[in-house]
Amino acid sequence: MDKKNIMVVDDSRTIAWIVRDTLEANGYAVRCVHSGEEALQRIEEQKPDIIILDIIMPKISGLEVLSKIKSSAETSSITVIMLTVNGRHDDILEGYRLGAEYYITKPFKQAELLHGVQRVLGRARQPSAA
């Protein structure tokens, strides 16, 4: 099985590194970027299988990034998981309305993150390596 490529987009380097370390320890290839602009540029260079996307970022929000990803024919098939402190019902609905496949609120547990990734990959029932 090929390693799934995941892009983590979070302006908090600490959160991005925690997500990266968790996912790499479970067999995923992970790239971290720290702004919406950088994410959109890097997606053009190498399309990831999954994007884990924060909402609250400077200049361009994660919801704007999500909207651009899902409105482009070249990137609309990329799976997006929102990972954010925005846990209000309206925020969650907006993420799903714009095309997110899963939504995780911060603070999160590593098991919750892994479950979300496995779920969007269609493998939620398989145990993960801990």
> What is the number of structural domains in the chain?
1
Q: What is the residue-averaged pLDDT of the chain?
A: 91
**pTM to 2 decimal places:** 0.90
Average pLDDT over residues 14-35: 96
Q: What is the pLDDT of residue 123?
A: 59
Residue 125: inside a domain: no
- The answer to the question of residue 126 being in a domain is no
Q: Tell me: pLDDT of 81 over 50.
A: yes
Asked if residues 81 and 100 have their Cβ atoms less than 8 Å apart, the reply is yes
Closest CA to 57 of 20, 82, 76: 82
Quote the pLDDT of residue 100.
Answer: 96
**Which whole-number Å values give the CA distances from 95 to 23, 35, 82, in the listed order?**
22, 18, 7
Supply the range of the domain harboring residue 86. Answer: 5-120
128 has a pLDDT exceeding 50: no
Tokens representing 34?
């720290």
Is pLDDT of 127 > 50? Answer: no
